[in-house]
Structure 1
Amino acid sequence: MNASMLSYILFSCLLLSVQAQNCSVREIIRYTNRLLEERSLGCPCRETAGSSCSCLPIAEPGHELACFVEGTEHMLNNNLPSNATIALLNRTFQVQRDRNLCESLARGKQCQYKTKGDVKEFLNKILRTYQAINKRRS
């Protein structure tokens, strides 16, 4: 193995390590706050509703990423306002889950929850989760 190949491998490992620590915390907090500011996202949670107001999973600790993926996919499928922001969050959560980038959140690829909530409750769960990660880093 030559020196340039070794340098490339070390640099790649460094990038992966930084990426794993990053978790896109600040971006997720910013986008979630932006969504929470929109009044059009508030509607009651009805288990039997077939509309965009149907209930979203409120994740059990350690299963957040899988539930965030599931919930944002549901939001996208129901054409909620701010689809671009929701799509960005959904893709970020998928990458974090699939690549195990946020070790404190990833315990599996299936969403586990005991309760469901409306869109605002779901977004607040995302916000609280990533604020806690951000606080631990500070």
Structure 2
Amino acid sequence: MDSQLRSTSQNEVEHLDNAVVIAESLVNQVKKSDIDMMVQHQKEMLTRYEKTNEMLINFNMLSAQRCETTSQDFKKHTQMLYEMKKDLDIVFKRIRTLKQRLTKMHPEAFAACSDVCNIIEVENNEDTQSKDDVQTS
């Protein structure tokens, strides 16, 4: 058993010696100045990446602030449009109510006006249809 341990340990020592020899030969093939130059280039690139990263962080913060401001403005404008629509609906409802009252009070005047409006409406429809026909041709 001792002989097996000795042969195993001798094999391991020889294996380690071979590994050390290979590592030393690789180290000897590369010049120290080349390694130093590569390290210097890596440090320069690291500095550039850190500066770029800082600039991107600042840009993202600024963009987030502007996005928040724009979102708030968008919400305000949307609310304003919704309120304007409600106001217009109320105005059109009042106009319809007034028109109905006036129709009851002065039916002959509205009959004459409605004939004129119908003629104008028919002419507008004909113009629209002729334009559509020209566009499809």
Specify the TM-score bucket, using the shorter chain as the normaliser: under 0.3
Instruction: Pick the structure with more strand per residue.
Output: 1
Whose RCO is larger (CA < 8 A, sep 6+)? 1
Instruction: Pick the structure with more helix per residue.
Output: 2
